[in-house]
Amino acid sequence: MNGITLNEKEAREARARISRLSEALHSEHAMEPVVAGLPPEVVSQVSRMMKAERERLTRAVEAYEVAKETQKPTALKALVNQEPGLMLIVARIANGYSQKDLAWRLGVKEQQVQRWEAERYAQISLKNYNRVAALLGVRLTADMPDQPAFRGLDKVIDGVSKSEIKKILKHGRENGWFAEDFTEAELRRYIAENRIDFGSPGLLRTGLNVVDHTEDVLLHAWRARVTARAREAFAGVEDIHEPLELKWMPELVRLSNDPRGPLRAVEVLAIRGIVLIVEPQIPGLKIDGAAFIVDGRPVIGMTVRTDTVDNFWFTLMHELAHVTLHFSTGLAVGFYDQTDQETSVDEQEEEANRFASNLLIPEERWRRSTARIAKSAAVIERFANELGIHPAIVFGRIRKERGEWSLFANKIGRNTVRKLFVGEAQKGKSDAPILPGS
């Protein structure tokens, strides 16, 4: 659900979800399957997310129904925020047309209009966009936000330096992204097509700060690679992700104790409809993890930039928090995270940090534990065993809270995660270029 209801199918789905959310929020029996086994602090976050989701869906359905019945889409227009593709759909509703009516007036099949609207007109040509817009009385205006698809491939990555392209080519060839003879022109197209598909990451949202990286070509290239690998992985991933089924998460946390836990995490997430891709970062990017949507499915990308057990599991839980708490309020744009900064964060990043911390080490248990102040590694390891997690996670939290990065430096599982994925990545290498959507 994307927060906007624009046809009868979406309205039916939204009403069904509102009903399910209401039932869970008003009944402990109904809520139990959703949050069984989760720490109280995480349960509170999930409950707040569910209430906000219900309110958002209710507003979306009401706005759609008013627009449909009165042909006055004021509330609906406020929700779409002047996005060109969505404006066409609102205009159709305001004109009192069904998708079938619009198709008849355009001289195309109803299925074509359905596809355009399902994609929010992201894949339509400028010529056809103007044709639909003219029929519906919509025109692009100066106050509408930029739409990469209307700029053409050359303009989408205009200004990218030759040195940046060479850096990406070198990294891509070394990491099996494409063949040795892949050209600069092909690379520019590779990045541009992905950017048109998914837009610009409006912000590089970091674990502890928010930095504008809208035009960071390294980020675009890395995301394009993760996207291509995610699409290849879809065959082994469940089709549907259900954000309201969370009782499997403690099982995922316990995998941290398994030497091959990070690889097994890929399998557990796949069963839940989530794709996890570990892809080394391009030098200079400085990114730890990301969460975004590809073809309607949640994707988590990780770089293992800091190759330690504690960093891997915190970063994974942080991105999983975005998938869980922000599926409808940010995942479509995406979260691109860096976890080693020391400045303030925005609200959604704070939520993700709290979710990750409590899922790994419940705050209630942490406050009562002598491990918080212990100097003995044995005390800390015993506490980790009681929780059923890898001791590196507890040592990592102590180092962070005390601000003593030399403390227990040999206890955080250095240089043990990345090598697990090297063999897997080698299996996926191909002599042919790997393009978005291939």
Domain ranges of the chain: 8-136, 162-426
Q: Which of 146-150, 218-222, 391-395 has the highest mean pLDDT?
A: 391-395
Residue 400 in this model has a pLDDT that exceeds 70 = yes
pLDDT at 151 (0 to 100): 47
pTM (two decimals): 0.82
- One-letter amino acid at 329 equals T
What are the Cα distances from residue 264, in Å, to 238, 270, 305, 367, 379? 16, 10, 20, 30, 28
The answer to whether 379 and 408 are in contact (CB under 8 A) is no
pLDDT at position 143, please? 46
Could you read off the pLDDT of 203-213 as tens digits, one per residue?
A: 455 444 455 55
Phi and psi at residue 100, to the nearest 5°: -65, -40
Contact 227, 233 (CB under 8 A): no
CA distance 317 to 397: 14
At 77, give phi and psi (nearest 5°): -60, -35
Instruction: Give the residue among 250, 245, 325 at the shortest CA–CA distance from 39.
Output: 250
- Quick: pLDDT tens for 232-250: 999 999 888 888 889 899 9
Long-range contacts of 98-104 (CB under 8 A, 24+ apart): 99/7, 102/132, 102/135, 102/136
The pLDDT score that the predictor gives to residue 2 is 55
Q: What's the half-sphere exposure (Cβ side, CA atoms, 13 Å) at 255?
A: 20
pLDDT digits (tens, 9 = 90+) for 136-190: 888 765 444 445 444 444 555 666 788 888 899 999 989 999 888 888 888 888 7
In the predicted model, what is the mean pLDDT of residues 34-49? Answer: 91
Mean pLDDT, residues 297-317? 96
| Whole-number Å distance between alpha carbons of 162 and 319 | 32
